[in-house]
Amino acid sequence: MPSSGLDARARQKQDRTPKKGKDTMSAGNGWIRVGTLADVPPGESRAVKISEGRSVALFNVDGRIHATDNQCPHMGFPLTRGVVKDGVLTCDWHGRSFDLEGGGCFNYECDDLETFPVDIRGDELWVQAGDATYRRRDQHLQLLWEGLLSGDSWTISKATALLLNGGVSEHDIVQLVLRHLGRHVASEQDAGGGGNIVSLLVSGLEVGKRYDGEDRLMALSLAGRAASGRASERLEVITLPPPVSWEQIDGWVRMFSRNMQDFRIERCLHTARENGQEAHIFKLLFECAVAPYFLGFARNVANLGDLARVVDTFGWGEASELVCNLGAKMVGRGRDEPERFHRDAVRLLEGLAPELESRDYGANTRTDYDENALVDALLSVDIERSFEAVAKALRDGVAIERLITTFVLLAADRMARTPVNVDAGWGPLSTEYNLAASLRHVHAYGGPAAAAKGLFHAAWQIFDNRWINIPSRALDEPLPDHASDAPDAATASERIVHAIKSLDIHGVGDQVVGYLNSGFDGSELLREIGRAILWDDTNMELLPTLRVTFNEWEGGGDADAGGSGHPSRYQLLVGLARYATDVRLNKNSMASINTAMRFSEGRTTVEVFDD
């Protein structure tokens, strides 16, 4: 087979005496005619388009013809605009350099350059560009790994786009991200930082499933960027020597959690995992996270739910280090001495704990109850009254999922009505909202007693946000009944997205209510609001709340999730739209996602910009 860079005169001589049985003029086996020798004079280069989104660069160096992909593997600049010296091709944009013969790149965060065999037939140039079959999975996974270590968003987006375009499954891509994340969190992050990263990772994956194309790539790239950072070596965690029973591990973890000794908890969890006792781990972690002394650590509960989702999706094999290390940091984290009201709340929950732990929740099946009385107590700025109202609802047999829905809709309603003339309190309010929704995970993984305690954590969060001056409103009070004057759903949706982008915080909520009152599809509107969120630099801030809103609005398979048919259900979308509008920057530093998509299709940046 001819090799890349054959001397032109030697090849011409060889072509005049072809080997027997070989038709050197055949266009088979991927050979393509790309021009003549006269088209590429010595010292010159030329680009030839060989298919849609794919071009070959031809270089004549001292009479030898070289053929490479014309797209720089770094950021897609046309390599025909580069410089060749001493057999090294250097891109003219960012200076990435390559071996012109073999294509090897001399820089990091850059794939090797693809080179092609050249055949000269008479005065015609032929290149064996091969087919478009994807064969660079391992190289692009390595590229993604480099991007994760450096935190370079372009490299992460580019590698992800190349892998997806090559048919590599999203599951395989995220497995690599998880392996990196486990070591990154273990060696570089505390409980808060690690928990936020996992929240963004899970949110990016779950939101991304609702989209395709560039929108899906954006969500995945946000997840990858959140997980990026240094991943240092650390001492190996050693299994405790046998015999060690689960009962011992359970007792030790609870004791170490009270004593804020996270490093001891990790070894216990690692031992349980190695002993095949992982089925018990999340129940124990959730029970620790909702202990009275963790009142005020709202993100602990939500982030443990995200960890559980990671294991459900990818298994313990990929997530073991992440769960054991971050789970230990969460339930063993340090706690300051609580201030007066906080101390009173801890004491109240400690008094209720025996009742909550011993109760038979099989009787909690009621869905009709005095919701307004509970909401009135939660907003009373009286923590004792608030806690007593939650306890009464549980004693009255109200279903835990129904109570969770009340907390979710109350938080959404507060986001839908918070004044924005001063500090709207979006951070605390979104925490309130996300915590309430995460109690569904507590219920699923930690059991009803843990979820019941979690309700008091949610009640405390509302009390702690008492500085946000939001007028009280009964949740069963009807919302305004006006309809949109748009001729159709698409126009009404476009107007709402325009209101978000034009920062019309005072009008966007009414537009959402009008859209929904018109009978238009709320799920489609949510997708459009989500798309507007993804393509703004506030995407990281809003991503967990967007994910929760998707799950609550769609119901997640639970008839009570999202309050289907509830008078305040529309507030889920109103609150999200107002939040997205008020914090919006109308700036997108991740616009390179578009370029990454075109890059994965083989197009140069010049072609992209020409579009």
| Beta strand 88-90 pairing with 124-128 | unpaired
β-bridge mates for residue 120, sequence order? 125
State pLDDT tens for residues 62-103. Answer: 999 999 999 998 878 899 999 999 999 999 988 999 999 999
| DSSP label of 245 | -
DSSP string, 569-581: TTHHHHHHHHHHH
β-bridge mates for residue 121, sequence order? 124
Q: Please state the rounded mean pLDDT for residues 29-49.
A: 92
State pLDDT tens for residues 568-604. Answer: 999 999 999 999 999 999 987 666 677 777 777 777 6
Which helix (H) or strand (E) segment holds residue 224: the answer is helix 213-227
Among 41-50, 129-138, 381-390, 530-539, name the one with the lowest average pLDDT: 129-138
Contacts of 344 (CB under 8 A, 6+ apart): 383, 384
State pLDDT tens for residues 177-233. Answer: 999 999 999 999 999 999 999 999 999 999 999 999 889 999 999 999 999 999 999
Residues 9 and 123: their CA atoms lie apart, in Å, by: 10
The residue type of 260 is M
State residue 14's pLDDT score. Answer: 31
Residues 343 and 324: their CA atoms lie apart, in Å, by: 30
Percent of the chain with pLDDT over 90: 81
| Domains of the chain by residue range | 8-128, 134-335, 340-464, 489-583
If one counts every other C-beta atom within 10 angstroms of the C-beta of residue 13, the result is 11
State residue 556's pLDDT score. Answer: 47
DSSP string, 352-368: HHHHHHH--GGG--B--
Q: CATH homologous superfamily of domain 8-128?
A: Rieske [2Fe-2S] iron-sulphur domain (2.102.10.10)
State pLDDT tens for residues 468-527. Answer: 999 999 999 999 999 999 999 999 999 999 999 999 999 999 999 999 999 999 999 999
State pLDDT tens for residues 132-189. Answer: 678 889 988 999 999 999 998 888 988 998 899 889 999 999 999 999 999 999 999 9
DSSP string, 434-502: HHHHHHHHIIIII-HHHHHHHHHHHHHHHHHTTTS------TTSPPP-----SSSHHHHHHHHHHHHHT
For the chain, what is the largest distance between any 2 Cα atoms, rounded to a whole number of angstroms? 99
* C-alpha count within 13 angstroms, C-beta hemisphere, residue 203: 28
| Beta strand 97-99 pairing with 115-116 | unpaired
Which residue, among 74, 236, 141, 111, has the nearest Cα to 149 in the 3D structure? Answer: 141
Q: Whole-prediction pTM value? A: 0.86
